[in-house]
Amino acid sequence: MDLDAQPEWEKTQRFETVLKGVPSVDQRFSFVNKGDEPLVIESVKPSCGCVVPEYSQQPIPAGGTGYVKVVFKPGERVGLQRETIRVSFEGNKEFSQTLVLRIDVQEKVEIHPQMVHWIRGDDFTPREINYQIHESLSWKLKSVKMEGDAFSVDHTVLSEDDFRKGVITVNRLKSGEHREEVLLVFTEAESSGGEGENAPEDVERKLIVRSLR
């Protein structure tokens, strides 16, 4: 490749925030051939199998625009994900470029802690579980269910103006060793209350409550 063929990238890094559960995230990196000779992409190599690339297959003429499109599949990943994509051009390694994709995969509902317990010697002091629904979602806590009778739960919304934050208080009712599940059911805060296919989709989260002898 002639040195007169030179790629100039619009951006070499892309950042996006998504919620857990999205099947894929698409990002596009573009460049302009600032030289006088055609550019040909030789290879595009992502750092992870979770990134599927697509790129310009034909030579990019002088003044023309090429691209590298990537599809990131987060799966069950949560948190900040950083993946790189190495782009090489035919004839000259000097023009190789590493593209960086940063995706912040955020939980729809943050729950801390996800398990509470009492160890041997503890008194019956209640335990608290805090939850926060993502700010982009118009959800609320619909119900709190517990399967047994060794514990009870109370629910408090922290603010009347913000139903996305709340506290679950777990009360120990019996001594001895017990293990139960708490089921939190979240639903849309503003719903028409439809039925069948029109009914709002509930989202469930399970927590563990334990006490030792």
Q: Do domains 7-106 and 109-211 have the same CATH topology?
A: yes
Reading the chain (213 residues) residue by residue, the pLDDT tens digits are 455 568 999 999 999 999 999 999 999 999 999 989 999 999 999 999 999 999 999 999 999 999 999 999 999 999 999 999 999 999 888 899 999 999 999 999 999 999 999 999 999 999 999 999 999 998 999 999 988 899 999 999 987 677 899 999 999 999 999 999 999 999 987 654 555 555 567 889 999 999 987
Cβ distance 205 to 109 under 8 Å? Answer: yes
The pLDDT value recorded for residue 1 is 44
Cβ distance 169 to 126 under 8 Å? Answer: yes
Residue 152, number of CB atoms within 10 A of its CB: 13
Q: Which CATH superfamily is domain 7-106 in?
A: Immunoglobulins (2.60.40.10)
Q: Can you give the pTM of this predicted structure?
A: 0.78
* Cα gap 81→18, rounded to integer Å: 11
Q: Which tokens go with 180?
A: 């139960």
Query: Can you give the residue ranges of every domain in the chain?
Result: 7-106, 109-211
CATH architecture of 109-211: Sandwich (2.60)
In degrees, to the nearest 5, what angle opens at C-alpha 62 toward C-alphas 59 and 66? 50
The pLDDT value recorded for residue 159 is 76
Return phi, psi of residue 163, to 5°: -80, 5
Q: Is 198 helix (H, G, I), strand (E, B) or coil?
A: helix
Alpha-helical (H) ranges within 61-189 are none
The pLDDT value recorded for residue 163 is 86
